[in-house]
Amino acid sequence: MADLETRKDRRAGRITFTRPQALNALSHEMALQIDAALRAWRDDPEVALIVIDAQGDRAFCAGGDIAALYHAARAGDHEVGRAFFRDEYRMNARIAEYPKPIVAFMQGFVMGGGVGVGGNASHRIVGDTTQVAMPETGIGMIPDVGGSWILAHAPDEAGEYLGLTGARMGPGDAIWAGFADSYVPEPEWPALIERLAETGDPDVITDHPVPPSALEARDLSAFAGDSVADIIAALEAAGDDETLKPLRRASPLSMAATLALVRAARGDRSIRQSLAREMRFTARTTAEGDFLEGVRAQIIDKDRSPKWAADASPAHVAHMLSSLGPNEITWEDA
């Protein structure tokens, strides 16, 4: 069975993740399929809007399918990962800038690559099972797929908190933090998709009262610190051991780079600038970062005990985020 289904359904272009057994993890081929469908429908007068949904109850898309990247890099081929990220980010930009409405129905886990697809849509719907997160610092990566752009627009210090800790957001948190737009109870989703396909009109989406956000009530002022060390010191002074736990487990390089990425993205004029900066890090991470060790510990061996070794100094962070020169990402007509 294919991992992704694309088809036209009355007034809608339909994209459906169809590998629930793998939590709908996004592969390179799937990213290219999504991009191709969006290209085909952009100027198709029969398609008024796009609907993106997923099979299964557990996940909309729990992230990128990164095992292939790991094995290729371990064998000395770092271009497999770079090609995947480059094509994925072009697809993310196309979703964010698409001239027609894109409605994403995001149940269950929505993480990493799933945020890149659903979180960049124009109409982002969540339900009671939704759990959104950008947990990349735990595998030696950074919040990419436009994650730094979305985090940069979260209220106050929520972007720094979510990016560094990888904390999960329920539906109320996701809407408050800017990762989603509307709460609709999941039993109503099939009928709503039918109306969208029939009418081609996103105005048929009826907002329900948004669940409360626990995140909104939290004091995140410690994350205003100038550096990761300052943030940790403030949390230690406050005795906030619960928030310190994920920071003590995460890659120091990834956290330092994430802090820089989120703050830099606040000055960006478009998501393309944020994606280009993310690409600089991800293009180098298999060779010069903690990514391979993070994937080994969390996904391959599953011992959950990464031995972080990458240089986390300001100079190395600056290098990881410096221009790729002739290898900078290009956008074509994305």
- The closest alpha carbon to 58, from 15, 6, 105, 110, belongs to 110
User: Which listed residue (13, 35, 53, 64) is catalytic?
Assistant: 64
Answer for the pair 185, 107: CB distance below 8 angstroms, yes or no: no
CA geometry: angle at 41 spanning 39 and 47, to 5°?
Answer: 165
Q: Each residue of 300-309: b (16+ CB within 10 Å) or e? A: eeeeeebebe
Residues 6+ apart with CB under 8 A from 203: none
Residue 53 annotated among the catalytic residues of the structure: no
- Spatial distance between the Cα atoms of 334 and 184, rounded to a whole number of angstroms: 30
Residue 113 annotated among the catalytic residues of the structure: yes
What is the β-pairing status of strands 12-17 and 4-9?
A: antiparallel
- Spatial distance between the Cα atoms of 306 and 183, rounded to a whole number of angstroms: 37
Tokens of 156: 């106050």
Residue 112 annotated among the catalytic residues of the structure: no
Answer for the pair 220, 161: CB distance below 8 angstroms, yes or no: yes
Residue 207 annotated among the catalytic residues of the structure: no
User: Which listed residue (144, 157, 160, 278) is catalytic?
Assistant: 144
User: Which listed residue (88, 136, 173, 181) is catalytic?
Assistant: 136
User: Which listed residue (13, 63, 81, 113) is catalytic?
Assistant: 113
Residue positions annotated with a catalytic role: 64, 113, 136, 144
